[in-house]
Structure formats: structure tokens, C-alpha cells
Amino acid sequence: MAEEAARLRVAALADLHVGETGRHPYRELFTEIAQNADVLALCGDLTNTGMVKEAEILAEDLAGCAIPVVGVLGNHDYECDCVDKVREILQQAGLTVLDGQTAEIQGVSFIGAKGFAGGYGRFMLTSFGEAATKAFVTESVQEALKLENALRNAKSHRALVVLHYAPILETVLGEPPEIMCFLGSSRLAEVIDRFPATAIIHGHAHHGTFEGRTPGGVPVYNCAFGLAKPGGRPYHMLEL
């Protein structure tokens, strides 16, 4: 009984894409989540184009969420070059933004990084050729290093990895093959599999597949908003 009582219920959700004309777009959903979960984990693309106004609209709904909220930013949140202000607004509303950091909540380590693209397995892009290609690969490597540093700092044997980009090919299947290499990178899974992790959540691949596993066997869940999930709700519930 004591072990069961110690389990933490996490609602995982990605790709909110809040626009500048929204009016409390997630207030009711966040209220529902707070009644059913202990923590809300957001997997990036919280705004549609990274505008300050979009962040302010989301912040109004986040401020009313009665449980801890952790998350990462996504590529859409960087679009307008206002990411520092977007981050500040969301943090002031109660969101713990993870960018290579770890947050400890009730005995669970939440380990977060945005991640980046680059492809999967033997088709992963390598640092060869033009400077632009090398810069692209460097960004992918740097995000993996951020994640590795955060994993090293995790204090609990129960660890949830929060990403925006997908760490495995399986959870982007269903997207057009031509864009799969832009939806994530095996570098992320390679790092995670060197550390103990309970599960991984991500978004970004709106038309991907809900569930997969890393080569090391860690469960991976694609929590993109419009993707079908068990229970029929926009979020996925995990017990850790």
C-alpha cells in the first residue's frame, strides 16, 4: 500500500500551439488535469510562433493550474526570436522550464531538453561537408550533451525524460518520410540509454505514433496534442 501511495501521476501533453487570438484555450483542460494528476509535463511548442502575446495568453491559464508544471520549449517557441521573454513569462506563471536541467518533484526526477533534428540510426546526419551541415549537426550534438548533463544530475531512480524532438524513429512513423529526419535524432536515445530512465515523453510529430521504445528498452510516448492516446484525452497519463 505504501509503495502504491508513493506513485506520482503525471499528465504529459505537447504542441499546444497557443495563438495570439486565443482566449483561455486550455483553462478547462488544465483544471481537469489538476483533478487527475499530480504533475503536468509539457513537451514544447507551447506557443504557435513564439510571440510574447501568445505566451501571455498561455500564462493566464498556467497560473490557474493547481499542480506543479514542468516542461521544455519547442521549435515554434523560438520562431520570433523572443524565446527569452517567452520563457520568462511562462516561468512567472509557474512553469519550470527545463533546458538541460533536472527538477525533483516528490521523489521523481524530471529531466528536460528541447532536443533537435538529425535523423535516426544509420541514416543520421554526420558532420561532413559544408559549414552549414556541420553547424546543423553541432546543434544536434549540443542538445544531446545538455540532456546527458541533466541525466547525470538526476537524484531519483524514477526519472522521466521530457523532450520536444523525438529520440526514436518509431514514434514519428506516420509522418511523411521526407520530413522524419527533421523530427528528432537517435543521438537523444543513445544518451538516455546510458542512464537509468523510467520513461520518455516528447511531441513535435503530430501525425506520428503514440508509443515505442529506445534500443535499450525505455518506453517512449509521443504526446502531441492531436495524436490518439489511450483513454481518448489530449494528454497521456503516466504513473511513476
pLDDT digits (tens, 9 = 90+) for 34-52: 999 999 999 999 999 999 9
- Residue 25: HSE in the Cβ half-sphere, 13 Å Cα cutoff: 18
The residue written with cell numbers 538516455 in the block is 192
Query: Using CA atoms, how far apart are residues 67 and 32, in angstroms rounded to an integer?
Result: 11
Q: How confident is the model at residue 4 (pLDDT cuts 50, 70, 90)?
A: very low
Rounded to the nearest 5 degrees, what angle is found at the Cα of 104, between the Cα atoms of 102 and 105? 140
* Structural domains of the chain, ranges and CATH numbers in brackets: 2-239 (3.60.21.10)
Half-sphere exposure of 57 (CA within 13 A, CB side): 20
pLDDT at 72 (0 to 100): 98
**pLDDT at site 1:** 37
pLDDT for position 22: 81
Of residues 213 and 231, more confidence is placed in: 213
pLDDT for residue 113 is more than 80: yes
Residue 52 host element (H or E): helix 52-62
Cα separation, 146 vs 140, in Å, equals 10
